[in-house]
Amino acid sequence: MSSGVAPVITLNDGHLMPTLALGTGRGTAKEQDSIEEVRQAVFWALEAGYRHIDTASIYGDEEQVGQGIADAIAKGIVKREEVFVTTKLWNDKHACEDVVPALMESLGRLRLDYVDLYLIHFPIATNADGDPLNVDYLETWKGMEDAKKLGLARSIGVSNFNADQLSRLYQYSEIKPAVIEVEVNPTLTQHPLVDFSHRLGVAVMAFSPFGFVVSRDSGDAPPPRADDPVLVTLANKYGKTVTQVVLRYLVDRGLVPIPKSVNKARLAQNINIFDFQLAPEEVAEIDKFNKNVRVIDGKGWEDYPNFPFERN
DSSP bridge partners of 126: 132
Per DSSP bridges, beta strands 179-183 and 84-89 are: unpaired
> DSSP assignment of 20-40, as one string?
--EE---TT--TT--THHHHH
Tell me how far apart the alpha carbons of residues 296 and 207 are, in angstroms, rounded to a whole number. Answer: 10
- Check if 59 is active-site: yes
Q: Is 35 near ligand NDP (CB under 6 A)?
A: no
* Among positions 5, 13, 28, 225, the unique one binding ligand NDP when judged by CB under 6 A: 28
Q: Which of 59, 118, 137, 170 is catalytic?
A: 59
* Among positions 23, 49, 157, 186, the unique one binding ligand NDP when judged by CB under 6 A: 23
* Among positions 187, 269, 272, 306, the unique one binding ligand NDP when judged by CB under 6 A: 269
> DSSP assignment of 202-257, as one string?
-EEEEESTTTTSSSS--TTPPSP-TT-HHHHHHHHHHT--HHHHHHHHHHHTT-EE
Nearer CB in complex with ligand NDP: 181/282: 181
* Among positions 155, 165, 243, 306, the unique one binding ligand NDP when judged by CB under 6 A: 243
User: Would you call 259 helix, strand, or coil by DSSP?
Assistant: coil
* Among positions 50, 118, 161, 210, the unique one binding ligand NDP when judged by CB under 6 A: 210
Question: Rounded to the nearest whole angstrom, what is the least distance from the CB of residue 64 to ligand NDP in the complex?
Answer: 13
Nearer CB in complex with ligand NDP: 183/282: 183
CB 109 within 8 A of CB 67: no
**Where in 47-106 is the site for ligand NDP (CB under 6 A)?**
54
CA distance from start to end of the chain: 46
Q: Is 261 near ligand NDP (CB under 6 A)?
A: yes
Question: Rounded to the nearest whole angstrom, what is the least distance from the CB of residue 266 to ligand NDP in the complex?
Answer: 4
Nearer CB in complex with ligand NDP: 160/165: 160
Query: For ligand NDP, how many residues bind (rule: CB under 6 A)?
Result: 27
Long-range residue pairs from 273-282, CB within 8 A, at least 24 positions apart, any chain: 273/4, 273/20, 273/240, 273/244, 273/247, 273/248, 274/4, 274/5, 274/6, 274/7, 275/4, 276/238, 276/240, 276/248, 277/248, 277/252, 278/234, 278/238, 278/245, 278/248, 278/249, 278/252, 282/234, 282/249
Sheet holding 52-54, edge to edge: 22-23, 52-54, 84-89, 115-120, 153-159, 179-183, 203-207, 256-257
- H or E element: which one contains 290? none
* Among positions 258, 268, 273, 278, the unique one binding ligand NDP when judged by CB under 6 A: 258
Q: Is 270 near ligand NDP (CB under 6 A)?
A: yes
* Among positions 18, 25, 68, 157, the unique one binding ligand NDP when judged by CB under 6 A: 25
From 10-18, 139-147, 252-260, 277-285, give the range in contact with ligand NDP by CB under 6 A.
252-260
Q: Is 308 near ligand NDP (CB under 6 A)?
A: no
From 7-15, 89-97, 132-140, 257-265, give the range in contact with ligand NDP by CB under 6 A.
257-265
Question: Rounded to the nearest whole angstrom, what is the least distance from the CB of residue 89 to ligand NDP in the complex?
Answer: 11
Binding site for ligand NDP (CB under 6 A): 23-25, 27-28, 54, 121, 159-160, 181, 207-210, 214, 243, 258-263, 266, 269-270, 295-296
Q: Tell me which residues are annotated as active site.
A: 59
